[in-house]
Copies of this chain bind each other. A is one copy, B any other.
Amino acid sequence: MLKEVQGGVCAAKGFTANGVHCGIRKNKTKRDLALIVSEVKASAAATYTQNLVKGAPLTVTKNNISDGYARAIICNSGNANTCNANGVEIAEQTCALLAKELGISSKDVVVASTGVIGQPLDITPIANGIPALVAGLGDHSDYACEGIMTTDTVLKEIAFEFEVNGTLCRIGGIAKGSGMIHPNMATMLVFVTTDCKISPATLQKALSEDIKDSFNMVSVDGDTSTNDMVTVLANGMAGNTEIIEEGEALDAFKEALAAVTKYLCRKIAGDGEGATKLLECKVCGAKDTATAKTVAKSVICSSLLKSAMFGSDANWGRVLCAIGYSGAEVDVNKVGVCFRSQKGSVVVCENGAGVEFSEEKAKEVLGEKEIEILITLGDGDGKAVAWGCDLTYDYVKINGDYRT
């Protein structure tokens, strides 16, 4: 029983947020420093990129929340603070400066950065920006969301109300996506807040399970970022009995968490760098879930299919090709493919071979902003969904000259 509500990361009780322009970016109209604060200590869980090259902030955050709790999240955009000689030092200074301003321990700060890799991050604009950042704290999830954006073109925020054993709780999240999106056991930047009371260990378990079906099934360009991070803060202010084990209460929480993460997945994929279309690949009939995931991910990652979708070209041979090289165990003679959008469905392949279809109808279906690629494998009941976007001129344009 989920109900969408307003407020993003400030929807849950006891959370405030803000975002300011502190000067890391040259463009003065773009906020580049974001903050989320909980009135009380919150259970904290996080997952991080599996890239061997890890942003310095991830190291500091991991250490800070090793006790399972946090109070604040600070994140800058414009510089990833990665592959810098003094990255950890700068991230720690950021925590210390914020902690002092808020009157909390620096060990209760989650710190994150996103932007260019390998350029020294100056602490000065951050130090200068923190007082205004803290002073302006309020119901400003949108400011915080803007503060973590890079080449994102739309705000990505959402919140839901749900019930745990009769107690009303809220959960909300913001995300930054765009390019370098191909998460592996973690993802882009996602910050989720909830007033649901849940123990740190249970929260971490719920998050780690959730990302396998949410952020790990998104791909914009096959590049796994060095700074991927998903963090959830749960401050317990809703007043429910603390969730510490499996059961109905945890199921309700997981459902709400999944609603937030899957919404953000779709937003991240649809707003991939240069994207004009959201692609959703739904696989069913696989011999198991792992097979379905491998197939869905392979199709969503194919540059050839992504280009064809940009051109509204029903080139289903590329779907078959991507299934074939996915590494999954599939009987290609049983594969069926159907393209679907709000304009209707077109079956293009059955039993591994082409079927006649109307090119006109296909163009109409593929001309929409949200395209479903429905694949049936005929081998069992495994299923999976993956999200991606089309490949466009603008992806190349944005990334041909990102640093300047």
- Chain A residues at the B interface, C-beta cutoff of 8 Å: 50-54, 80, 82-85, 116-120, 179-180, 182, 184, 221-226, 301-304, 307-308, 310-311, 313, 315-318, 320-325, 330, 332, 349, 352-354, 391-393, 395-404
A129 to B153, CA, bound (A): 54
CB-nearest residue of chain B to A308: B399
A308 to B396, CA, bound (A): 8
Query: Does B118 lie within 8 Å of A303, measured CB to CB?
Result: no
Shortest distance between the CB of A14 and any CB in chain B (Å): 37
A182 to B323, CA, bound (A): 14
Query: Does B321 lie within 8 Å of A223, measured CB to CB?
Result: yes
Query: Does B401 lie within 8 Å of A313, measured CB to CB?
Result: yes
The A contact surface, by secondary structure, is loop
Instruction: Enumerate chain B residues within 8 angstroms of A403, measured Cβ to Cβ.
Output: 313, 315
For this complex, 18 residue pairs linking A to B, each with C-beta atoms less than 8 Å apart, are A51-B324, A53-B324, A54-B324, A82-B317, A83-B349, A83-B352, A85-B353, A117-B321, A222-B302, A223-B322, A223-B325, A224-B321, A226-B317, A307-B400, A310-B396, A392-B396, A393-B393, A395-B396
Query: Does A323 lie within 8 Å of B354, measured CB to CB?
Result: no
CB-nearest residue of chain B to A224: B325
Instruction: Enumerate chain B residues within 8 angstroms of A313, measured Cβ to Cβ.
Output: 400-404
Shortest distance between the CB of A229 and any CB in chain B (Å): 15
